[in-house]
């Protein structure tokens, strides 16, 4: 396949793009940069394997998601991703309830944690995947601060129980790395990976 990108903002001409993710944040990010794409939900068991490191977990899940969709759409550029929050060597996924969200935010408050996003592409019979890391520093938070944020329900469906692009931005004192990686998809790194395939 020979496809030419006319500019930094183009997607490959004539190529169908599929996002293998149900994440509204990832959909919003691709929409904001002007890409046309379809969403196809992957069928993947996200249970960690025994002894699996957090980095290996998010990479495996991203690869599994993209492959589960790519096998049904042979000629499409398929994008998959998985994001986790890492603190004290432990991975924080989505909280199971409000109490779990309070537990997670209590661990994160006043400290720096890592956000890892594994992202994967399948296109024209080729596959690539990587992990992007961003360090996020939380401001010190009291119990009332944490409870008030949890009560907004904003972070209940997000890794680490917060959304940096929403009210959760008020919890964050600073970051080192790609902001969009924390949202759920490292756009610049993703675009560069696609460029590497250009013929």
- Domains present along the chain, CATH in parentheses: 17-195 (3.90.950.10)
Confidence at 2, pLDDT banded by 50, 70, 90: very low
Distance CA(63)–CA(186), nearest Å, equals 15
Give the CA radius of gyration of the chain: 17
Phi first, then psi: give them for residue 171, nearest 5 degrees: -90, -15
Q: How remote is the C-alpha of 37 from its chain's centroid? A: 17
Highest mean pLDDT among 52-56, 92-96, 141-145: 141-145
Q: Which of 38, 45, 82, 144 is catalytic?
A: 82
Highest mean pLDDT among 65-69, 124-128, 190-194: 65-69
For residue 82, indicate whether it is catalytic. Answer: yes
Distance CA(114)–CA(84), nearest Å, equals 8
pLDDT number for residue 46: 86
- Choose among 81, 101, 106, 114: nearest CA to 155: 101
Average pLDDT over residues 2-11: 57
CA 17, 20, 24, 29 dihedral sign is: negative
pLDDT number for residue 24: 92
Q: Which residue has the higher pLDDT, 134 or 43?
A: 134
Residue 29 has pLDDT above 90, yes or no: yes
Distance CA(147)–CA(150), nearest Å, equals 5
pLDDT number for residue 199: 38
Average pLDDT over residues 131-156: 97
Distance CA(83)–CA(91), nearest Å, equals 10
pLDDT number for residue 15: 84
| pTM (2 d.p.) | 0.88
Residue 173 has pLDDT above 70, yes or no: yes
Length of the chain: 199
The owner of tokens 């990479």 is 59
pLDDT number for residue 1: 42
pLDDT number for residue 125: 86
């Amino acid at each position: 396949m020979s496809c030419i990108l006319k500019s930094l903002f183009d997607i490959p001409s004539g190529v169908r793009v599929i996002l293998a993710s149900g994440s509204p944040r990832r959909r919003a990010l691709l929409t904001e940069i002007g890409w046309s794409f379809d969403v196809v939900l992957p069928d993947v068991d996200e249970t960690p394997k025994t002894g699996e490191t957090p980095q290996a977990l998010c990479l495996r899940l991203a690869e599994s998601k993209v492959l589960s969709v790519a096998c049904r759409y042979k000629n499409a550029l398929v994008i998959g991703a998985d994001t986790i929050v890492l603190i004290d060597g432990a991975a924080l996924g989505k909280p199971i309830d409000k109490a779990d969200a309070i537990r997670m935010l209590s661990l994160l408050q006043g400290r720096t944690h890592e956000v890892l996003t594994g992202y994967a592409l399948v296109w024209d019979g080729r596959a690539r995947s990587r992990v992007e890391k961003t360090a996020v520093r939380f401001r010190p938070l009291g119990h009332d601060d944490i409870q008030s944020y949890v009560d907004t329900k904003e972070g209940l469906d997000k890794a680490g129980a917060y959304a940096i692009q929403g009210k959760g931005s008020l919890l964050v004192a600073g970051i080192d790395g790609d902001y969009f990686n924390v949202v759920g998809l490292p756009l610049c790194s993703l675009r560069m990976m696609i460029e590497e395939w250009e013929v």
